[in-house]
Amino acid sequence: MMTQKSALSFDRVVWLSVATVIVTIALVILRGDQLQLLPQRLSPVADAVGVSPRTQIVLQFDQPLAALPPGATLQLTPPVTGALQIAADRLIFTPGMPLTTDMTYTVQLDAALRGQQGGRLREPLRWQFRTGGLQVVYTAVDAEGRERLFVADANLGGAAERPASPTQLTSGPLSLWDFSVSPRSGQIVYSALKEDGTSDLWAVQLGDLTPTLLAPCPNAVCNSTAWSPDGKLLAYARRNASEFGAAALSPPRLWLFDPASGDTAPVFTDSQKLAFEPSWSADNQWLSYVSPEDGGVGVIQLATGQEQFYPTISGETGRWQPQADRLLYTSFRQVGEQYVAHIVLADPVSGEATNLSGETALVEDGAPAWSPDGAWIAFRRKELTGPGATPGKQIWRMRADGRAAAPLTSDPGFDYSAPQWSPDGRYLLFHRLPLKGPTITLSVWIYDVTTGARWLVAEPGQRPQWAP
């Protein structure tokens, strides 16, 4: 039987326990209120200049983010509409339309955002950046033989304006392998070589000169990247090191990388299928690639797994038409006693194929590139006979059906690289190589399809791409 003294002692214990719980809860609440959600990285960075008009606004925090609370806003001034989403520890704003060129924008994020660990944003975030115009990303080799990444203004005023000095984007003791530019955000991803002969995928945003590791590739070489047109996936080739050889000498396989989640996955269910040089269709549904084991260009429909194959020894991947699931590839064949290279338009669904160069044309065509509206094709051509024959390849243009083929350059002393159309379809970008002279230096040029004017962007420079 419990005595009165025992009952009082029991009551004290109960009340003490309750008080302890209350104090603990209060401390948790107080501690939760004191926890801060700290930004680790802003992109574009504060006061950045020359930012791509197609940039995304990305804020990375010190912890994964909770769901967006009602009314949470990220505002740009001047006003911009777009989509706001959470990806782990990042808040991403994707503008619905490209930003205005050469414009200063102010970004403000309200303080309603919270993290999954209880941290909250104590006060609004606010910073500015300034967009640039159309730019050109290219590589150049330094005095030590290392290939570096640069960006320069497109200088659309032409030769009348003096081009600004280019900005170097990569450094370090080793070179890069290759790179690609996202058509959606302007983000540049490049394959950075390491001392053991492998390479990782790194990313850099125009206006922010701090590279970030995008996809580590331990004991492997990752390169040959291609952004999907919607910017949601990155296709790349991966070569794994093995007991039989170094990674760089190993056979390539195609993989997909999701920047939002960091997930990677092989393209093919058959782990032994080899492929590299991926290229996306405009609707993000098809991939073309070079198939080294079969000797040609392969295509796969990602949703269904449907495949097609086009035999060729060109080593070039297929290039998809912007408004249709058709692609261009280069086919080697024999015309009489002459070996030629022709451009073929293929439909992987119907199986139809059309020789756009002309069945009997004595030419070496290659590196076709569609204009943004799909109406024109720019390409490299070397005429093998006649008054137009040159030692190097020139830049030509023809209609989408092969009609009205005409040269845009006619310089016997130079060889021209694969052309790249500007987003508005007015300009072509390429590098050219002198075939003789006291110095042989690659240089980057722009050609105005409307006026025929051309001007120098960078010398030395090679492998240029537009940064929209």
Smallest Cα–Cα separation from 94: which of 78, 83, 80? Answer: 83
The whole-number pLDDT of residue 32 equals 44
Q: Rounded to whole angstroms, how far apart are CA atoms 82 and 462?
A: 35
Q: Rounded to whole angstroms, how far apart are CA atoms 235 and 326?
A: 19
pLDDT at 122 over 90: no
Predicted confidence band of residue 11 (pLDDT cuts 50, 70, 90): low
Cα Rg of the chain, angstroms: 28
Q: Which of 107-121, 269-283, 380-394 has the lowest mean pLDDT?
A: 107-121
Q: Rounded to whole angstroms, how far apart are CA atoms 148 and 177?
A: 9
The whole-number pLDDT of residue 165 equals 84
DSSP 115: B
Question: Looking at the structure, do residues 83 and 156 belong to the same domain, yes or no?
Answer: no
Residue that terminates a domain, selected from 99, 131, 163:
131
Q: Which of 72-81, 375-384, 406-415 has the lowest mean pLDDT?
A: 72-81
Q: Report the predicted TM-score, pTM, of the whole model to 2 decimal places.
A: 0.84
Q: Which of 21-30, 133-142, 156-165, 210-219 has the lowest mean pLDDT?
A: 21-30
The whole-number pLDDT of residue 344 equals 98
The whole-number pLDDT of residue 183 equals 87
Q: Which of 72-86, 143-157, 238-252 has the lowest mean pLDDT?
A: 238-252
Which one has a higher pLDDT value, 22 or 184? 184
Q: Rounded to whole angstroms, how far apart are CA atoms 183 and 177?
A: 20
Question: Looking at the structure, do residues 1 and 69 belong to the same domain, yes or no?
Answer: no
pLDDT at 12 over 90: no
Q: Are 95 and 82 in contact (CB under 8 A)?
A: yes
Question: Looking at the structure, do residues 97 and 207 belong to the same domain, yes or no?
Answer: no
> 48-51 and 125-131: which strand pairing?
parallel
Please, which residues bridge with residue 193 across strands?
199
Question: Looking at the structure, do residues 115 and 55 belong to the same domain, yes or no?
Answer: yes
Domain holding 205: CATH number? 2.120.10.30
pLDDT at 23 over 50: no
Q: Rounded to whole angstroms, how far apart are CA atoms 275 and 291?
A: 5
Domain count along the chain:
3
Q: Are 300 and 284 in contact (CB under 8 A)?
A: no
Question: Looking at the structure, do residues 416 and 456 belong to the same domain, yes or no?
Answer: yes
Q: Are 235 and 222 in contact (CB under 8 A)?
A: no
Predicted confidence band of residue 17 (pLDDT cuts 50, 70, 90): low
Which one has a higher pLDDT value, 51 or 291? 291
Question: Looking at the structure, do residues 74 and 62 belong to the same domain, yes or no?
Answer: yes
Q: How many CB atoms lie within 10 A of CB 334?
A: 8
pLDDT at 16 over 60: no
Q: Are 222 and 200 in contact (CB under 8 A)?
A: yes
The whole-number pLDDT of residue 3 equals 55
Question: Looking at the structure, do residues 127 and 139 belong to the same domain, yes or no?
Answer: no
- Return the SS3 of 323: coil
Q: Which of 34-43, 173-182, 358-367 has the lowest mean pLDDT?
A: 34-43
DSSP 164: P
pLDDT at 29 over 80: no
Write the burial class of residue 30 (CB in 10 Å: 0-12 exposed, 13-18 middle, 19+ buried). exposed
pLDDT at 30 over 60: no
Q: Rounded to whole angstroms, how far apart are CA atoms 145 and 143?
A: 6
The helix (run of H) or strand (run of E) holding residue 127 is strand 125-131
pLDDT at 13 over 80: no
Question: Looking at the structure, do residues 304 and 436 belong to the same domain, yes or no?
Answer: yes
The whole-number pLDDT of residue 208 equals 80
The whole-number pLDDT of residue 277 equals 97
- Return the SS3 of 213: strand
- Return the SS3 of 286: strand
Question: Looking at the structure, do residues 317 and 378 belong to the same domain, yes or no?
Answer: yes
Which one has a higher pLDDT value, 247 or 468? 468
Query: pLDDT per residue over 148-167, tens digit each?
Result: 999 999 988 665 555 568 99
pLDDT at 22 over 80: no
Name the average pLDDT for the chain: 88
Predicted confidence band of residue 85 (pLDDT cuts 50, 70, 90): confident
Predicted confidence band of residue 245 (pLDDT cuts 50, 70, 90): low
Question: Looking at the structure, do residues 25 and 45 belong to the same domain, yes or no?
Answer: no
* Average confidence (pLDDT) over 321-347: 95
> 57-61 and 90-95: which strand pairing?
antiparallel
Question: Looking at the structure, do residues 237 and 329 belong to the same domain, yes or no?
Answer: yes
Q: Are 395 and 410 in contact (CB under 8 A)?
A: no
> 39-43 and 57-61: which strand pairing?
antiparallel
The whole-number pLDDT of residue 174 equals 86
For residue 431, the Cα-to-chain-centroid distance in whole angstroms is 20
End-to-end Cα, the chain, rounded Å:
86
Angle, vertex CA 250, rays to CA 248 and CA 253, nearest 5:
105
Q: What is the four-CA torsion angle of 40, 128, 53, 178, rounded to 10 degrees?
A: -40
How much of the chain exceeds pLDDT 90, in percent? 61
Residue that terminates a domain, selected from 73, 98, 131:
131
The whole-number pLDDT of residue 10 equals 46
pLDDT at 18 over 80: no
Residue that terminates a domain, selected from 85, 108, 131:
131
Domain holding 56: CATH number? 2.60.40.1220
Expressed as residue numbers, the domain containing 364 is 135-467
Question: Looking at the structure, do residues 449 and 323 belong to the same domain, yes or no?
Answer: yes
Q: Are 251 and 292 in contact (CB under 8 A)?
A: yes
Smallest Cα–Cα separation from 467: which of 13, 47, 238, 149? Answer: 149
